[in-house]
Amino acid sequence: MNNTTAGSDKAAMRRTDARTRDRIVAFSYIAGIVAAAVVLAALNPSGPLGFLQAVSDGLRLGLIIAITGMGLSLVFATSGIFNFAHGEFATLGALVAWWLNTALGIPLVLTIVVAIGIGGAAGYGSEHAIWRPLRRRGVSVTSALVVGIGLALAARSVFLFIVGGNSKSYAEYTVQSAISIGGIDLLPKQIVSELLCVAVLAGLGLFLKLTSLGQAIRAVSDDPILASASGIAVNRALSTVWIIGGAMAALGGALLGLFEQVSWEMGNQLLLLIIAGVTLGGLGTVAGAVIGSILVGIVTQVSVLFLPAELKYMTALALLILILLIKPQGILGRKQRVG
C-alpha cells in the first residue's frame, strides 16, 4: 500500500515539477528580454527618453498586430490550419473603412464598425466556402498552406483591381497634435487605438473564459475529437472562431490605417509581422499571441533607434527565426511536435 501512495505522490510531484519548470522557462525568456531592454535603453543613441518613445510607439503597433493575428492563432489552434491569407482580412477592413469614409463621407468611426462586420462576414464566408470543404476532403498540411497562398494572391489582386496601386489615407484624423506625457509624445488617436485594442482583447479573454461557447472553443483547440465526443458541435465552434478572427483582423487593419498608408498590400506587410508575433508568443495560445505581438511591435520600433528605418521589419523577422530555432512552440507554447 505504501508503495502505491508513494508512487502516485512521486508522480504528482513530477507533474508539479514539470509545470514549475515550464513556468521558470517562460519567465526566464521574459526576464531576458526585459534585461536586454534595460541595456538597450541605456546604450541607445537617443537616450532613455527616445527609448521609451520607441516602446510607446511599439506598443501601439504591437497591439494592432495582436488583434490582427489573434484570428490566425485561434484558427490554427482549433482546426490545425495555418492560413497564409489571414492578412487579407486586415486589408479588407482598412479598405472598407477608407472607401466608406472618403467616397461616401461617412464618419470614420462608423466605417470602422462596418469594416468589423464585413471582416466577420468574410471570415465566415471563407470558412464555409473554402476551408470546411477542404477539411472534409482531408487535405494535407501542405495543401492547406498552398491554398492559403493562392487565396492571398487572389485577394490581394482583387484589392489591387478595385482600388488601384496608390496608397491612400482616411479623410479624418490624419493630422493631430501630440499630447506630451512625461516627455513622450502620444497622439490622441494612438491612445484611442490602444485602449480599443486592449478592450477587444480583454473582451475576447472574457468570452473564452466565461461563456460556454468560448469554453467550447478552448476545448476544441485542446482536442477536437474529444470535443465532438463530448457533444460539442465542433463546426459551430469553428465558425465562431473564423467570424471573430476575421472581424478582429479587419479592425486591426482599419486601425493601422490611422497610422500608416492604406493600400492593397497592407495585408502582406502585416502578415509577416503577425506570423512573427503569434509564433513568438506561442501558436494557439491567446496570451502568447498578445505577448508575442507586443514584443514584435516594440522590437520593431526600438530597432529604428539603431538601424535604418527601412530595416525595422527585419529585426522582427530575425526574432521569428530565432525563436523557431530555439523554441518553436514559442515563449508560452506547450510542447508539441514541430519537426
Partner 1 sequence: MDFASIISDSLRAAISPTAAAYALGAIGLNLQFGYAGLINLGIAGSMAAGAYGLAMVVLSGGPFWAGLLVGLVCAGVFSLLVALPTVRLRADYLAMTTIATAEILRLVLRSSWARPVTGGVNGLQRFADSFYALNPFGVTSYAIGPVIIPGRTLWLMLVAWILVVIVAIGLWAIVKSPWGRTVIAIREDEDLARALGKNTFNVKVQVMVLGGMCTALAGSVLVTDQQNVNPDSFGTALTFVVYAIVIMGGAGRIVSPIVGAVLFWLLLALSDGILRSLADLSALSGGWFGQDQVGAVRYVLVGVSLILVIVFRPQGFFAGRLPHLRKKVTAS
Partner 2 sequence: MTTTLDQNPLGQKIALEDTALHINRIHRQYGGLTAVDLDEIRIPRGKLTALIGPNGAGKSTLFNIVTGFDKPDDGSWAFEGTNLAGKQAHTIARLGMIRTFQMTRLISGQTVLENMLLAASRQRGDSLTRAWWHPSWKNEEAENTERARELLGRFKLADKAETDAASLSGGQRRLLEVARALMARPRAILLDEPLAGVNPALREQVMQHLTELRDAGMTILFVEHDMDAVMGLSDHVVCMALGKRIAEGTPQEVASNESVIDAYLGVHTSGNHRSPMPLAVTSRSANSKVPTEPVLRVSSITAGYHPDRPILNGLDATVSAGEVVAVIGANGAGKSTLLKAVAGLVAVGSGDILVEGKSIVKQEVHLRMRNGIGYVPQSNNVFPSLTVMENLRMGGFGHRRHDDAIARVLDMFPHLKELLGTPAGSLSGGQRQSVAMARALVPRPQLLLLDEPSAGLSPMAQSAAFATVADVAESGVSILIVEQNARECLAMSHRGYVLEQGKVALSGSGQSLLTDERVIELYLGAMKTKRANQLMESEKESSEHTTD
Q: In terms of CB distance, is 166 or 212 closer to partner 2?
A: 212
Buried b (16+ CB within 10 A) or exposed e, 138-166: ebeeeebeebbeebbeebbeebeeebeee
Q: In terms of CB distance, is 18 or 311 closer to partner 2?
A: 18
Residue 325 Cα distances to 105, 332, 338, angstroms: 49, 15, 11
**Identity of residue 156:** R
Give the residue, chosen from 40, 54, 67, 152, that forms a contact with partner 1 under the rule CB under 8 A.
152
331 touches partner 1 by CB under 8 A? no
* Contacts of partner 1 in 211-240 (CB under 8 A): 224-225, 234-235, 238
CB 111 within 8 A of CB 279: no
* Contacts of partner 1 in 59-118 (CB under 8 A): 76, 79-82, 84
Under rule CB under 8 A, how many of the chain's residues touch partner 1? Answer: 63
Q: Does residue 215 sit in helix, strand or coil?
A: helix
Kindly state the smallest distance separating residue 77's Cβ from partner 1, in Å.
11
Q: Where do we find the cell 458541435?
A: 233
- Judge residue 51's burial from the number of C-beta atoms within 10 Å of its C-beta, 0-12 exposed, 13-18 middle, 19 or more buried: buried
| Residues 6+ positions from 122 with CB-CB distance below 8 Å | 89, 92, 246, 250
Kindly state the smallest distance separating residue 149's Cβ from partner 1, in Å.
5
Give the residue, chosen from 32, 107, 125, 133, that forms a contact with partner 1 under the rule CB under 8 A.
133
Q: Where do we find the cell 514541430?
A: 338
Contacting range for partner 1; rule: CB under 8 A; set: 35-43, 132-140, 168-176, 253-261: 132-140
199 touches partner 1 by CB under 8 A? no
Point out which residues bind partner 1 (CB under 8 A): 76, 79-82, 84, 130, 132-147, 149-158, 160-161, 164-165, 224-225, 234-235, 238, 268, 272, 275-276, 279, 307-308, 310-311, 313-314, 317-318, 320-321, 324-325, 328, 337-339
